[in-house]
Amino acid sequence: MSSDWETVIGLEVHCELRTVTKLFCGCRNAFGDEPNTNICPVCLGLPGSLPVLNRQAVELAMRIGAALHCEVRGSIFHRKNYFYPDMPKDYQISQYDEPLNVNGSLELPDGTRIGIERAHMEEDTGKTTHVGTSGRIHGADFSLVDYNRAGVPLVEIVSRPDIRGAEQARTYVSELRAILVATGASDGKMEEGSLRVDANVSVHHPDEAFGTRCEIKNLNSLRSLGRAIDYEVRRQISVLEDGGRVVQETRHWNEDEGRTSSMRSKEEAYDYRYFPEPDLVPIDPPETWKAAVRESLPVLPAQRRRELAARAGMAPADVALLVELDLDALVTSAVALGADPRIAVNRAANEVAAALGSAPSLDPAAFATVCRMEAEGRLTATQAKAVLGELLVSGGDPVAIADARGFAPVDSGLVEAAVDDAIGADAAAWARYVAGEDKVAGMFVGKVMKATGGKADGGTVTAILQRKRSAAQA
């Protein structure tokens, strides 16, 4: 693959809203119920039925808009006309040229801003299962349709083509997912179809105009998203480098085969014949409602990263994991109680994170004490990890745990003496270390640890060795 190709990606993420009822009727919005039990004349599109807009869905859509820094504005619904068995009316009520949310942005942990073109409301379709060898509608023996999902409220979040690779696309989706969960709009469960992603992918040489794009559908996990983009980028580059041209089309990602295949070309694309939905009236949220939505938003991940990073004196990207795991509050509390920020971040991101889900909640004061003891040299890093491990399993007082385990601070003179003993015992190794062979240090540290019964701090021993080497070299 030539290195001067640049990948350009725009993502369309469909987010099912966590409302009590569907978008246009009073049926339950629930995943996993017995098929075709949450249905009524409206979501089945029976003759004579009419849609009535769900206020909670509008509010959640506005929350998404506000969280993505969009302009939230008056909007109308359109009908998107096409035939498909899982779409009861053979048109989808969606938003077209007057969407609810426009012109927003999303900040990735590394500070990159991805533009959000729009985040509009629409209804979900039913769910079709094609039974037969193909797994697609053509060639199926028969198809089963579950209309429980028909009419579930969706917000489709359309990014600008600002994403530059599979990894960034995955980061974008995880960040978006975190925001959607934080706002209460979504449960974020990709495995249940709560978030579904379509990717528009093209490649070009950075100094040229964007290439022709293909839209990839059926991306149901971050893994699929990454693999599909990587595959598609390789495919497009290979087509172009063979002198061909990329055809604008919709492509289907096949997870098992690990490849995309053509679904329909631009020429075969549907003409959706959009026109304003006459059965609904325009949405025009008053300023008071918009303000209330903005004020009720929780602190969002980007802000939480900035706050924690500032407190810990680190870069926002370095604390992203902690925010993602919801451990930033623990670290912040511990720091307020006197813990060293770097040690707190380190221990939280490793030992505490590893125990998440299995351990009872960690008392921030106890956590702060362990971090402080480590910072003050009363515990070595190894000892601090051991104390923290016990705290995470059974709780208790860190000082008492350290005492019970016999973790007393080692006399620094004692460590110094042990280092001297180790050097004296192997002059040849010492000479190699002084000559610049760094890996020999490990052997000396091991000997000192053995001599001190494991109570010396590895970092301290290394520091002493380095100091003595500098003296020997001078």
Partner 1 sequence: MTAVEIAADVRAGRRSAREVVEAHLARVAESDGEIHAFLHVDVDGALRAAGRVDDCVARGEDPGPLAGVPIALKDNLCTRGLPTTCASRILEGWLPPYTATAVQRVVERGAIPLGKTNLDEFAMGSSTENSAYGPTRNPRDLHRVPGGSSGGSAAAVAAGFAPLALGSDTGGSIRQPAALCGVVGVKPTYGAVSRYGLIAFASSLDQIGPFATTVADAALLLEAIAGPDPLDSTSWPEALPPIDVRADVAGLRVGLVRELSGEGIAPDVAARVAAAADALGAAGAKVDEVSVPGARYALSAYYLIAPAEASSNLARYDGVRYGLRVARDDISETYGATREQGFGAEVKRRIMLGTYALSAGYYDAYYGQAQRARTLLIRDFAAAYEQFDVLLSPTAPTTAFELGAKTADPLAMYLSDVCTIPTNLAGHPAISVPFGVGVDGLPIGVQVLAPALGEAVMFRVAAALEEMAP
Q: Which is nearer to partner 1, 136 or 405 (CB)?
A: 136
CA dihedral defined by 69, 71, 76, 78, rounded to 10 degrees?
A: -50
**Cα Rg of the chain (Å, integer):** 29
46 binds partner 1 (CB under 8 A): yes
- Write down the least CB distance from residue 44 to partner 1, Å: 7
**157 φ, ψ (degrees, to nearest 5):** -105, 115
Neighbours of 237 (CB within 10 A): 17
Q: What are phi and psi of 194, to 5 degrees?
A: -65, -30
- The span of 136-144, 311-319, 396-404, 448-456 binding partner 1 (CB under 8 A) equals 136-144
Would you give the DSSP letter of residue 408? P
Q: Which stretch in 47-55, 171-179, 183-191, 430-438 sits in contact with partner 1 by CB under 8 A?
A: 47-55
CB nearer to partner 1: pick between 5 and 272: 272
Nearer to partner 1 (CB atom), residue 90 or residue 241 = 90
Site string for partner 1, 75-94 (x = CB under 8 A): ----x-x-x-x--xxxx---
Count of residues near partner 1 by CB under 8 A? 31
Task: Output phi, psi for 217, to 5 deg.
Answer: -110, 170
150, 24 contact by CB (below 8 A):
no
* Of the residues 7, 8, 51, 159, which one makes contact with partner 1 according to CB under 8 A: 51
Contact 28, 21 (CB under 8 A): yes
Contacts of 403 (CB under 8 A, 6+ apart): none
49 binds partner 1 (CB under 8 A): yes
CB nearer to partner 1: give 44 or 441: 44
Nearer to partner 1, 136 or 450 (CB): 136
Note whether 215 and 198 are within 8 A (CB). Answer: yes
Q: How far is the CB of 189 from partner 1 (least distance, A)?
A: 29
Helix (H, G, I), strand (E, B), or coil: what is residue 128?
strand
What is the 8-class DSSP label of residue 75? B
Q: Which residues contact 428 (CB under 8 A, 6 or more apart)?
A: none
Stretch 268-297: interaction string toward partner 1, x if CB under 8 A: ---x-xxx--xxxx----------------
Q: Are 334 and 360 in contact (CB under 8 A)?
A: no
Binding mask 210-239 for partner 1 (x = CB under 8 A): ------------------------------
Part in contact with partner 1 (CB under 8 A); list of ranges 45-53, 182-190, 309-317, 326-334: 45-53
Applying CB under 8 A, does 52 fall inside the site for partner 1? yes
Give the β-pairing of 78-81 and 101-107.
unpaired
Binder among 32, 47, 313, 357 for partner 1 (CB under 8 A): 47
Chain residues binding partner 1 by CB under 8 A are 41, 44-53, 79, 81, 83, 85, 88-91, 137-138, 143, 145, 271, 273-275, 278-281
